[in-house]
Amino acid sequence: MLNDDRLGRCLDAVAPHLDGIVGSVGANAIGVFGIDVSRLHWDMTSISLYGTYDEPEEGFAKPRFGHPKDRRPDLKQVQTGLGVAADGAVPVFHRAYDGGAGEVNQVLGAMEALAKLAGRRKFLLVGDSKLVSYVNLAAMITAGVAFIAPASKTYVDAATLAAQNLAVSIPVDYVAQRDRQQGPEARGAWAVSEDAMAIPGPRKADPVLQVRRVFVWSSARAGAAKAARAKRLAVVHISAVTRDDSVLLKEARKIFKQTLVPRDFQTVSLRPLK
């Protein structure tokens, strides 16, 4: 009979061998199916847990309070990181982390594991803004790993973005997924510009890192921003660090009065404001 107890015992039996199983499956998939691992995407997420948990065995992810992606700080969580090949979106690597582990601090270990999986192949590591920290960038540059990630406002402030000159940007031949069924005249336009950015280390003795910085302009994004400025502003994708939305909302309304923080399944009226 298959029940949750038997499934739990099965998972307990697999757990000590999980890294070897996942590693061998990923490596065999690369070899057998010829999966291109020249571009690997890395990201982490949290899994909220209900109930009580005894202290887990050493070497396994520990349920802890942290910064949950589902904004449930009242629940303990564990975290998981997943490395996916751009070729077919095939998962080739994963790792479980303690619920309170800092996401930025896990990038280095993931990079080393993915580099080992790629072997002699050069690969591009694609991640979110957590990829960008002095320690992570220094390690990737030293290891010769190419990377791309969006920079947070910690590294690129609003004034720098506002100072960009669209007139000198270079148009690029890129078609967004949402526009692929549209005619050329209805598709969004894209343009880029590039410069270099110096990133100093936390200590005076740390060498200054020089990295490429690419600014991307989208006509669709620009149009949406203009419409939001003219009507209402919805603040979404709020950092998990923010536990009290009302504080963020109060600060935002000092700049733009018609700001709201939408909830899941909330209906928002788009009628013109009086």
Length of the chain in residues, anyone? 274
- At residue 242, the pLDDT reads 67
pLDDT of residue 272 exceeding 60? no
What's the chain's Rg over C-alpha atoms?
22
What's the one-letter identity of residue 64?
Answer: R
Give the side-chain half-sphere CA count within 13 A for 149: 26
The pLDDT tens digits of the residues spanning 229-267 come to 656 778 777 766 666 778 878 888 887 777 888 877 777
The pLDDT tens digits of the residues spanning 200-213 come to 999 999 999 999 99
- At residue 228, the pLDDT reads 64
Average pLDDT of the chain, as a whole number: 85
The pLDDT tens digits of the residues spanning 90-145 come to 888 888 899 988 888 888 888 888 887 777 778 899 999 989 999 999 999 988 88
Q: Are 84 and 90 in contact (CB under 8 A)?
A: yes
Query: How many CB atoms neighbour CB 268 within 10 A?
Result: 9
List of domains in the chain: 7-150 (3.30.420), 151-218 (no CATH), 231-274 (no CATH)
Distance CA 34, CA 57 (A): 37
Express as a percent the part of the chain with pLDDT over 90: 27
